[in-house]
């Protein structure tokens, strides 16, 4: 199976929403309780891409996975840290799409000047842990019973990947100003 990774656009919102909605409704992978609408998803893409990358993987013209970065925390001193997220259509799990998305996303974040990427993983999730650790993320801790969904408490583990090690850090370059290869 062949796929390509490209920069997302708001017109991808319908395909992205179709991948994400079941994750919200049927799993604890996402801690949202109601899936965003297609319009809300298009707005999220637009807002994200002002500063951070938002990528999709396509097979036969259809989006089958996506990855993006987002603000780690609101306080100014956190601006060199970034959260990362990847979602893949379950029909195409385990063929390398998540890895391909991250292999494009992480170098972009480094090029922008981010110091470290963080991934939160609702536990247990051996597949997500496996891909993150294979890409150089290390477990830095777990928030026990931090979210309540589907009638029970869930813990979230956090993984970190170093990116740009410049000290002092330079200002972050907005994604719109970074050249994508």
**pLDDT value, residue 165:** 87
Q: What angle, 0 to 180 degrees and rounded to 10, lies between the N-to-C axes of helices 13-26 and 38-48?
A: 110
Provide the whole-model pTM: 0.95
Round to whole Å and give the CA distance between 6 and 4.
7
**pLDDT value, residue 74:** 94
**3-state secondary structure (DSSP) of residue 20:** helix
Mean pLDDT across 85-103: 95
Domain boundaries, given as residue ranges, for the chain:
4-175
> Over 70: is that where the pLDDT of 181 sits?
no
**pLDDT value, residue 178:** 87
Is the separation of the CB atoms in 117 and 161 below 8 Å?
yes
Let me know if domain 4-175 sits in CATH 3.30.70.3190.
Answer: no
pLDDT digits (tens, 9 = 90+) for 29-70: 999 999 999 999 999 999 999 999 999 999 999 999 999 999
Q: How far is CA 154 from CA 65, 142, 159, in A?
A: 25, 11, 17
Model confidence at 175, pLDDT cuts 50, 70, 90, reads: very high
Q: List the structure tokens of 104.
A: 């494009």
Model confidence at 180, pLDDT cuts 50, 70, 90, reads: low
> Over 60: is that where the pLDDT of 126 sits?
yes
Which residues, in sequence order, are CB contacts of 37 under 8 Å at separation 6+?
17
Mean pLDDT of the residues in the chain:
96
């Amino acid at each position: 199976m062949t796929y390509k990774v490209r920069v997302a656009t708001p017109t991808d919102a319908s395909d992205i929403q179709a991948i994400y909605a079941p994750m919200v409704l049927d799993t604890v992978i996402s801690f949202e309780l109601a899936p965003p609408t297609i319009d809300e998803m298009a707005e999220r893409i637009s807002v994200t891409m002002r500063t951070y990358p938002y990528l999709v993987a396509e097979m036969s013209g259809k989006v089958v996975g996506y990855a993006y970065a987002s603000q780690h925390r609101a306080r100014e001193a956190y601006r060199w840290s970034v959260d990362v997220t990847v979602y893949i259509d379950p029909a195409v799990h385990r063929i390398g799409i998540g890895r391909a998305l991250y292999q494009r996303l992480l170098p972009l974040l480094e090029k922008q000047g981010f110091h470290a990427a963080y991934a939160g993983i609702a536990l247990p999730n051996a597949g997500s842990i496996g891909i993150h650790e294979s890409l150089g993320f290390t477990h830095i801790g777990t928030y026990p019973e931090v979210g309540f969904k589907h009638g029970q408490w869930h813990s979230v583990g956090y993984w970190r990947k170093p990116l740009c090690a410049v000290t002092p850090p330079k200002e972050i370059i907005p994604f719109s100003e970074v050249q994508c290869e």
